[in-house]
Amino acid sequence: MKTRVQIAGIAAASLLIIFNAGEAKADLIGSSVDVTANFPSAMTIFADGGVKVVGSGVEYAVGSFAAYNPDFSIDLSGSQIIISNATGTTFSTAGFNGFVITDLSGAFQSVSANTALSNFLPVNLSVSGNEIFVNYSGLVTPGQAVSVIDFTLARPSPAPQSAQAHRASLSLHSSSVGS
């Protein structure tokens, strides 16, 4: 009887490992982020939108950056950042004038402007660890301005063989416990 309890315990532990291994995600949904409007340098926070969890709605609605420019909204998805301004604006020229997106759950791997979906593009776009820097210094944007930024995360995807490996491990434990 004791071996059956041990086998059940090993099976339960293996299932927990299998399901927890599947939690590593390759997108930003469910992650905590902080977006700041920075000016006149990338390290100078002008307005902080606060920490939000990325989901299906707009994370930073119009008014989130009132001290910087109240007309901006920022929506994050699994692999995109959509920066919008319905009225258009002029960005003052400075070393940096734009947004810093910080992923509090991990790091970014790459970032690029989506030219097909944007009607204004950053003058500089870069990634450093868990931060994306979107610089619009000196730009004048049109009304109904939309800037779409694509990104990838530096998070590992779960290995497809992990479930098979755990089943094989469970099989070995089952045969050795019963003998």
Across the strands, what pairs with 149? Answer: 81, 113
Provide the domain count of the chain.
Answer: 2
**Do 70 and 88 share a domain, yes or no?**
yes
* pTM of this structure: 0.75
Please check the confidence at residue 172 and state whether its pLDDT lies above 70: no
**Do 17 and 95 share a domain, yes or no?**
no
Six token digits for residue 45: 């926070």
Q: Of 154, 128, 125, 114, nearest to 31 (Cα)?
A: 154
DSSP characters for 34-46?
EEEEE-SSTT-EE
**What is the predicted pLDDT for the residue at 26?**
75
Q: Average pLDDT, stretch 15-22?
A: 37
Query: Who contacts 138 (Cβ-Cβ below 8 Å, separation ≥6)?
Result: 91, 92, 93, 97, 123
Q: Of 63, 149, 153, nearest to 103 (Cα)?
A: 153
**Do 44 and 118 share a domain, yes or no?**
yes
Q: Return the DSSP state at 96.
A: -
Q: Which of 113-117, 124-128, 173-177 has the lowest mean pLDDT?
A: 173-177
Six token digits for residue 66: 């009132």
Q: Which of 46-60, 64-78, 143-157 has the lowest mean pLDDT?
A: 143-157
Please check the confidence at residue 37 and state whether its pLDDT lies above 50: yes
Q: Average pLDDT, stretch 66-76?
A: 97
**Do 6 and 83 share a domain, yes or no?**
no
**Do 44 and 75 share a domain, yes or no?**
yes
**Spatial distance between the Cα atoms of 62 and 115, rounded to a whole number of angstroms:** 23
**What is the predicted pLDDT for the residue at 89?**
94
**What is the predicted pLDDT for the residue at 164?**
47
Please check the confidence at residue 62 and state whether its pLDDT lies above 70: yes
The number of residues in the chain equals 179
**Do 87 and 144 share a domain, yes or no?**
yes
**Do 50 and 82 share a domain, yes or no?**
yes
Which range of residues forms the domain containing residue 11? 2-24+158-177
**Do 51 and 133 share a domain, yes or no?**
yes
Please check the confidence at residue 177 and state whether its pLDDT lies above 90: no
**What is the predicted pLDDT for the residue at 156?**
60
